[in-house]
Chain A
């Protein structure tokens, strides 16, 4: 067994330093949150280079509020 990496692969919820592509892959229910905020991240070639905090800044959103939206979407998914 290989030790799991200490990032989004094992975390329960996305964090501000996670890469957007990792968040989209690990928690597909967040796609709806990105779209609701009219963010172009799902499918974007830059998603693998940018963190949640960076894209929140790009769209003028509060990072903690965005993370809270992610958490709600993930919880609703069950």
Chain B
């Protein structure tokens, strides 16, 4: 993890600091540590004391929780411009999950004490944090409902749509999920097995709905995937038994 010299431009695009003026941003970046993080680095581990608030400038970080039974669940993927590990700093004080760099990343962090002082001096930061945490809570509630009520096929469709919304890139008439994503990752996001995800994706590939390499997924028929996720009537497909 190589330290970099701080530049206020890195904070542009971070929702936590939206609405702040140039002077405030300069103060915030002076109190931050910026660094490069190599692919494969564990940025923090589940159970560690939550000492730092992190933001990702560029790259992709996987937040994953390991249960008592050793089963791993991907909580979410973090992309450029997003905060992570921050809620833990202000609640409980223990990181509830691991944060792993999936690609080479550039990150920035503040100590808990520094972030607390910044929030007191600039209440806008605390309001932005509340907005971020509120949105994530809504996402979690949606996922909870999916997990408790939906068939696994719909959960996998929702997971791909969620990833496409966050990291999608239009290619031809399809949408590519623009970071390495294995079938095991999808299984861990949807609380199912690798075998089940492989069976579902192979079926969708056969119908031309998605296209995937080993570490990469492209949605070829966005509407067909939405139809599966939302249980919409599907054109050209008879009602399922």
Chain A contact residues, CB within 8 Å of chain B: 40, 44-46, 48-50, 54-55, 58-60
Contact = CB atoms under 8 A, between A and B. Distances in A.
A45 B223 CA distance: 10
B175 A40 contact: no
A55 B223 CA distance: 8
A50 B222 contact: yes
A50 to B, nearest CB: 6
Interface residues of B, number: 17
A54 B230 contact: no
Contacts of A54: 173, 223
Nearest to B173: A54
A58 B168 contact: no
B232 A46 contact: no
A60 B168 CA distance: 25
A48 B161 CA distance: 12
B135 interface: no
* Interface of chain B, main secondary structure: helix
A59 B222 CA distance: 12
Contacts of B232: 40
A50 B165 CA distance: 12
B112 interface: no
Contacts of B164: 45-46, 49
A45 B161 contact: yes
B162 interface: yes
A49 B170 CA distance: 6
Most chain-B Cβ atoms within 10 A of its Cβ — which of A44, A55, A60?
A: A44
Given A40-B226, A55-B223, A58-B223, A46 B175 contact: yes
Given A40-B232, A60-B235, A46 B226 contact: yes
A65 to B, nearest CB: 17
A9 to B, nearest CB: 19
Contacts of A40: 226-227, 230, 232
Given A40-B230, A58-B223, A46 B161 contact: yes
A40 B235 CA distance: 14
B165 A45 contact: yes
Nearest to B166: A45
A77 B79 CA distance: 39
B235 A49 contact: no
Q: Which of A44, A46, A55, A59 has the most CB of B within 10 A?
A: A46
